[in-house]
Amino acid sequence: MKILSIIGARPQFVKEAIIQKEINKYDDIEEIVVHTGQHYDENMSDIFFKVLNMRKPDYNLGINGSSHGQMTGEMLIKLEEIMIKESPDVVILYGDTNSTLAGALAASKLKIKVAHIEAGLRQEPKDMPEEINRVLTDRISSYLFVPSEYGMKNLTKEGLTNNVYFTGDVMYDIFLEMKPHFDSSLMDELNLEKDNFILLTMHRDFNVDNKETLKTILEQLEKINREIPIVWPLHPRTASRIKSFELEYLIKDMNILEPIDYLNLMGLTEYCKKIITDSGGFQKESYFAKKEGIVIMPDTSWRELTDKKINLLANPNEVYEKTTEENNQVFEENIYGNGDSAKQIIKILYNDFIN
């Protein structure tokens, strides 16, 4: 059996790590890994191969830095060439990036089966790039591996019921696998106190690409930072927008970091008071660490967490209010499975192709 796995963005590196570990248990599965290059900053990509003991990808396309359409089109062309050359039995895709959609389109045109890990997620606004990518990929996929019961309900409403599996979330697998290795050394370097700082990540286009929106958020964050320190590993996209909009003065007193690797991020997460984010993956990772999250989005694909008030949605002008109010939510266990998602996924694919 031959699997071709496509990765391109930070959460996908993490998910591929645990899937790759499970694939390696099978002597008769060959895996080809393609890195599209969508995230090209070393701390945003290469570091995951080093820290999580992943092998280097077989192909690195180096496609990044252009518009959504151009990026997706270039990936589609290159991925089709690789699929024709490698002739895999199934293509594994993760999440909702341009890499995901390009891989799904290339495989479906060649009549290669597609396995979508993290299927069934839905959120507003419907025109956001990630939502378009995930909806179209689900329509194309031969196997839909769903991380939550909410995702199962979404697919049922849309009439997608064949080869749909509730496996839980591979992000929870990797969290449990790597927990003993989380690195909290930045606590000392930054002179931070446990439960006395806010950990922030932000990169979505609707938050950072408009000057007035970004300014509003930064003003809210500056207000929070006067009361409790903010630690912010700054995404390259966000850093570029802050500079071009001349808003650096609003973040000068925060603990601004270069992008950090998964182990350092999780090390900080374990000791922070709360997190603020617009990252889909980090919303869950904070839940795994039993930390409340303030989500700067109009909606989220992880509605289980907002429905249970574990995470709170916040508009740009609500970030201070939502962050400083006390929630003290009880954390429900195992919303995203039992930590054996990768095992279930590879077993399903293997049994289907071998039998």
Catalytic pick from 35, 39, 203, 235?
203
Contact assessment for residue 221 and residue 251, using Cβ atoms and an 8 Å cutoff: yes
pLDDT the model gives residue 47: 63
User: Domains in the chain, please, with CATH?
Assistant: 2-169+337-354 (3.40.50.2000), 182-324 (3.40.50.2000)
What's residue 37's pLDDT?
87
Rounded to an integer, what distance in angstroms lies between the CA atom of residue 34 and that of residue 119?
20
Q: What pTM was computed for the model?
A: 0.88
Which element (helix H / strand E) includes 293? Answer: strand 292-295
> How many other C-beta atoms are found inside a 10 Å radius of the C-beta of residue 354?
10
pLDDT of residue 54: 84
- Considering just the CA atoms, what is the radius of gyration of the chain in Å? 20
Predicted pLDDT at 48: 62
Intervals of the chain under pLDDT 50: none
Q: Give me the pLDDT at residue 46, please.
A: 63
Quick one: pLDDT at residue 43?
Answer: 54
Rounded-to-integer distance, Cα 87 and Cα 84, Å: 5
Active site residue 235: no
Q: Which residues contact 215 (CB under 8 A, 6 or more apart)?
A: 245, 247, 250
